[in-house]
Amino acid sequence: MTSTQRIETTFGEESTAAEVIESIDLSGKHAVVTGAASGLGAETARALASAGASVTLAVRNTDAGESTATDIRKATGNDAVHVRRLDLVDQASIAAFTSSWAVPLHILVNNAGVMALPTLDLTPDGWEEQFAANHLGHFALALGLHDALAAAGNARIVSLSSRGHHASPVEFDDVNFSSRPYDPWLAYGQSKTANVLFAVGATSHWAADGITANAVHPGVIMDTNLSRHMDPEQAAHLRALAAAGEPGEILGAPFRFKTTAQGAATSVLVATSPQLEGIGGRYFEDCNEAEVLTPEAVGTSSGGVAAFALDPDAAERLWTLSLAAVGA
């Protein structure tokens, strides 16, 4: 298989995290999962711990994190499940986390995120909050952990994106909605495109250090905290469809709901599968590499990745912007 061939696996949209990691041994390896107190992050951490990894849950609410860690220890028999505080919109919190990390890091799962904030909220540094939390915080985290990732050899970064990236490229001339009307879904889409571009940029800059990064779309899962900012009526409608086992539609295209275990599967596969050794800068969904869409299909297809999210020039522009934004 050449490095340009599309990655196809034996797993699919109904596969679970436990299934994709069943034959993997992560003994002696260290992993960090952000936003791991609940939902996809907790399920991802559980799967990694079940394979023997030492897993750190990087969370804002350490009480919730400790509760989840206790559950994972009991479920897996792995006592090497740790909790550390991390606030992705607070550069001081990120710096405290990264400066005290003292061992090689084999897997970094940038899982935490916010979606569809109803109003334009800016961080103290002036960045739109979805862009700041979903991209800039994770960028600063990975940057601060670079040496630990390099020390691991063949380290992997998993960047959680979304089919929502179809909604918008990164609007470099107005990232913070200073001169255009704020739209929750455009802001979310921009941040999710940034997550893919980060994977492209990180692989370009760090592959020589033995670090690769890929982006994933976990699917639509309604029993996580990500939907907490959605319009209540829309969220209730989607939950009802999910409970009934019926397909939904969002951002102009139909989709099938997933369980949390199914949603975490693609992250876990990308983090651990031998098929992805040395592979980076790509976008995965349903446990397989996604097809690159034509411009006409973006926004109308239920899957696939927009070409603008894989554009190396945009990735380099975002890298430069991000370095300046985090003061690096």
**Catalytic residue positions, numbered:** 188
Give the C-alpha separation, 253 to 234, whole Å: 15
Provide the 8-state DSSP code for 135.
I
3-state SS, residue 60: coil
3-state SS, residue 38: coil
C-beta of residue 134 within 8 angstroms of C-beta of residue 229: no
Helices (H), the chain: 17-20, 39-50, 62-76, 91-99, 129-131, 137-144, 146-152, 184-206, 232-244, 260-263, 265-272, 312-325
Q: How far apart are the first and last CA of the chain?
A: 37
CA-closest candidate to residue 183, choices 163, 162, 166, 167? 167
Give the C-alpha separation, 199 to 138, whole Å: 11
